[in-house]
């Protein structure tokens, strides 16, 4: 969810995903969003968002970056599962192959 100012620029964002509710590092939430939603060049252009986010949440940028490193692999795995679901919606080929493998 995005909130825009009068110029149409985003000023606030809220991530709501009731499917994977958990208590954890904000870095993991950001990694999931970044890795499943944007290409590398877009991410590099908007890394200032991380500083803005950490300032808004009273987090030390260095602590957030340490958490990015710590949660990078789990974040990537979660993002890959999100992408798998998004990219295969309407295509039950994988589900059929899985069902066949389970039955054999």
Beta bridge partners of 12: 3
Query: Which pLDDT score, from 0 to 100, does residue 17 have?
Result: 73
Which DSSP symbol is given to 58? Answer: T
Domain extents in the chain: 2-103
Output the tens digit of pLDDT for each of the chain's 104 residues. Answer: 888 999 989 898 887 777 767 777 777 778 777 777 777 888 788 778 777 877 777 767 677 778 888 888 888 888 887 777 777 766 667 667 767 777 77
Query: Which pLDDT score, from 0 to 100, does residue 61 have?
Result: 66
Query: Which pLDDT score, from 0 to 100, does residue 69 have?
Result: 83
CA distance 1 to 15: 6
């Amino acid at each position: 969810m995005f909130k825009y100012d009068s110029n149409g620029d985003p000023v606030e964002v809220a991530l709501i995903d009731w499917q994977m509710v958990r208590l954890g590092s904000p870095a993991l939430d950001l990694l999931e969003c970044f890795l499943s939603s944007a290409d590398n060049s877009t991410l590099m252009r908007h890394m200032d968002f991380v500083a803005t986010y950490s300032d808004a949440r009273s987090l030390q940028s260095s602590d957030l970056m340490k958490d990015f490193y710590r949660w990078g692999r789990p974040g990537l795995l979660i993002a890959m599962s999100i992408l798998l679901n998004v990219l295969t919606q309407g295509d039950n080929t994988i589900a059929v192959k899985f069902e066949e493998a389970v039955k054999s």
